[in-house]
Structure 1
Amino acid sequence: MPGVKLTTQAYCKMVLHGAKYPHCAVNGLLVAEKQKPRKEHLPLGGPGAHHTLFVDCIPLFHGTLALAPMLEVALTLIDSWCKDNSYVIAGYYQANERVKDARYIHAKPSVGSLSELRVQNLPNQVAEKVASRIAEGFSDSALIMVDNTKFTMDCVVPTIHVYEHHENKWRCRDPHYDYCEDWPEAQRISASLLDSRSYETLVDFDNHLDDIRNDWTNPEINKAVLHLC
């Protein structure tokens, strides 16, 4: 399965969405640039190996995530926006409402190390259903769970678990892999945005439905990330 990477902008906006609504479940979509036809038989991990780069995220809802009519409206509008900007809906993210929605599991140890106990934030039925729908239209999609047990103001470690669709199931990928395109940059900028309380200005689709003047593409936060790069 091809790998996935997150730009700093995509990672930071996921973190800000969770930080704005720490008392709620939140979710959103991840978008990638439209793929050009690629050569067959490229070796994974070798020169020219393919991976999906999530260039941005679109925050969807906070609180109740299972309202099908609102999700349909959001998907229609966002799909139209993606087509206008040469993007494609390529992934889904979610942060669970309760810390107890996570569980401790024995992680596969790295070479020469002992088995470790770590927290894994689990996708629920809503997450798997929406992510599977996206996978029908984009084969290299991913489901990302934002781990609210790792939320800190200085963002010391990545707060995500990445799941891949394999044999009709969502399976957690290697937690030791760096899924950010530039983790030191993502860590520094997300910490700076949290410190400046930029999450207060983040707009999700719920906010847009309350007032259509609220722009769910979050141009101001995009500018802030670019300024800090």
Structure 2
Amino acid sequence: MVEIVISVRAYCKMLLHMMKYPHSAVNGIFIAEEKKTHERGQLVINIVDSIPLFHTSLGLTPMLEVAFMQVDHYCKSKGLEIVGYYQGNRNYQDSSPDAVAFKVAEKVYENFNNACLVIVDNQKVSVECREVGFQLYQYSDNKWKLKDKTSVFLEQGHSALGIASTLLQSKVYRHLVDFDNHLDNITEDWTNQLLNEEIEHCL
């Protein structure tokens, strides 16, 4: 049994990425601590951050490869590892994984066999953040299966939703930098250190 804990930072940055580009599909990577702990006989994966990737063409292989190489190098320097992929679809009513989502998630799975695939549930995302706005899948029996919600936890629980709402209403998504922004201007920081600090101030 694998237990997945998503940090407030990782969750908020995923939503901020969606809100910055509400008319586009977006995607990104989840990273976690390399050291995984066992509690009550369960493997616990602590997702500590998310890295926003793209908001234009999500599945362009050359750009994905560049992004993954840079994120992997960053993770190794910080004692972290790539453990998951998130995607928010363009269509408001579409909250299902598509070919791009499966393709990128499988790339993550090749290097981390407890990889997760997270799809934003557009219909549950709002500035009020009244409920958790995503579905999480893991690979099992040769296919991606929807994970039981009892084994997926949002750090700080309901309080995390309040923090996310505060950040969205404050429009801090204007400060978020994804890889598309970085490729347009390499001085833009895709690790989002300044945004991370803004989130930490809300905790």
Could you list the per-position Cα deviations for residues 95-146 of structure 1 after superposition, in whole angstroms to 9, with x for gaps in the alignment?
Answer: 0110232xxxxxxxxxxxxxxxxxxx21001101110111111111100001
Aligned residue identity for 1:65: L
Q: Scaled by the length of structure 1, what TM-score is found?
A: 0.84
1:124 matches 2:98:
yes
How many angstroms apart in 1 are the aligned matches of 2:162 and 2:195? Answer: 15
Aligned residue identity for 2:194: E
Alignment of 1:30-179 (within 5 A): 30-35=30-35, 47-101=40-94, 121-175=95-149, 178-179=152-153
Secondary structure, counterpart of 2:68 in structure 1: helix
Secondary structure, counterpart of 2:154 in structure 1: coil
Aligned residue identity for 1:53: N
Q: Verify the 8 A CA contact 1:13 1:57 in the aligned structure 2.
A: yes
Q: Report how many residues are paired.
A: 203
How many angstroms apart in 2 are the aligned matches of 1:173 and 1:137? Answer: 20
What stretches of structure 1 of length at least 5 have no aligned partner? 102-120
Match of 1:183 in 2: 157
How many angstroms apart in 2 are the aligned matches of 1:176 and 1:137? Answer: 25
Q: CA deviation at 1:210?
A: 0.4
What is the percent sequence identity of the aligned residues? 43
Larger fraction in helix: 2
Aligned residue identity for 1:164: Q
Aligned residue identity for 2:83: A
RMSD: 1.5
Q: Scaled by the length of structure 2, what TM-score is found?
A: 0.95
Pick the aligned partner of 2:192 from 193, 218, 221: 218
Bigger Rg over Cα: 1
How many angstroms apart in 2 are the aligned matches of 1:187 and 1:100? Answer: 22
Q: CA deviation at 1:66?
A: 1.1
Q: Verify the 8 A CA contact 1:143 1:162 in the aligned structure 2.
A: yes
Structure 1 runs, 4 residues or longer, greater than 2 Å off: 46-49, 174-179
Could you list the per-position Cα deviations for residues 168-212 of structure 1 after superposition, in whole angstroms to 9, with x for gaps in the alignment?
Answer: 211111246652021223111111111110011100000000001
1:24 matches 2:29:
no
